[in-house]
Amino acid sequence: MTATVIPETNQHYDLDPAVFEQFLDPMRKYSSGLYLSDTDDLATAQRHKLRFVAGRMGVDDGERVLDIGCGWGALTLFLAGRYDCRVTGVTPAPRQRDHIEATARARGLAERVDVHCGMFERFDAPAGTFEAGAALGSVIHMPDLPAVFARTRRLLRKDARFYVSESCFRNGAIQAEFDARPGTAFVRNAIFGNGRLRPLSELVAAAETAGFSVETVDDLTDHYRRTIEAWIGNVETSRERLDELQDGLADQLTHYLEIANAGWGYTTKHYGLTLRNAR
């Protein structure tokens, strides 16, 4: 039997950083925003979300925080700058690491920001190193979810909070029906290179098995729908520039984002889980 090979990184995130400048907010936050009013624009919603995540984690000034799948560093840099936290980000994409490190230096945050480039499954630190942790839309790329939660819990001190946001199938029956559909396969293979959408129950079971207590579950589905609508609008506005960077890229991104938005409430939901290392 041939073993399944999991890519070291996702091809989507290794695109030229200029691609993401064209359709994300200025912080390049690549996950759901939080819209508190009808007039909030994308950048405002993403700032709201960072403050919300910090509140759910209960971070205090100067604490050590783990940012799993830190992307382009929006949360990492926010916590280091706003709360003087010492943040360790983990990303499999060298271009993301380089961007975060350069931005941290430019903002005078280099001493408070450390970025590990590699798969989280291979990241290690002494037990109880971190006072809080987050994984914004990143565990979808990790096939062994129980092992990921177990590793995270070991890295967190007792009573630390771990915030996880993830898109999920509405239930196991929908997962069985739609996981092999062409749209799902397109997102998984043509965009990410790897990834597995799960029902919420699977996330909760893995977290509880690892020893976490579930404190809150926030339904952020409508917020992610509005976020993606804003991204689609930005792709259209930047169509010419995107196609200069890679032929046909604007259409590919639009197709991916429209597939994502078509499923909200019908096949998929987006949740934020606040877990506590209570045991």
pLDDT in tens, 115-153: 999 999 999 999 999 999 999 999 988 889 999 999 999
Q: Classify residue 193: in a domain, yes or no.
A: yes
Q: Classify residue 6: in a domain, yes or no.
A: no
HSE at residue 117, side-chain half, CA atoms within 13 A, is: 12
Residue segments in the chain with a per-residue pLDDT below the cut of 50: 1-8
Q: What angle do CA 90, 60, 26 make, to 5 degrees?
A: 50
Enumerate residues 6+ apart whose C-beta is below 8 A from 133.
57, 65, 66, 67, 68, 152, 155, 156, 160, 161, 162, 163
**Would you say 207 and 233 are in contact if contact means Cβ atoms under 8 Å apart?**
no
Q: Classify residue 5: in a domain, yes or no.
A: no
Residue 157 burial (CB count, 10 A): 14
Closest to 95 in 3D by CA, of 70, 67, 68:
70
pLDDT at 2: 38
Q: Classify residue 88: in a domain, yes or no.
A: yes
Q: Classify residue 3: in a domain, yes or no.
A: no
Q: Domain total for the chain? A: 1
Instruction: Output the domain CATH number for residue 219.
Output: 3.40.50.150
Q: Classify residue 2: in a domain, yes or no.
A: no
Instruction: Report pTM.
Output: 0.92
pLDDT at 6: 42
Q: What angle do CA 231, 233, 235 make, to 5 degrees?
A: 70
Domain that holds residue 185: 11-276
pLDDT at 87: 98
Q: Classify residue 128: in a domain, yes or no.
A: yes
Q: Classify residue 4: in a domain, yes or no.
A: no
Q: Which residue has the tokens 């003087």?
A: 84
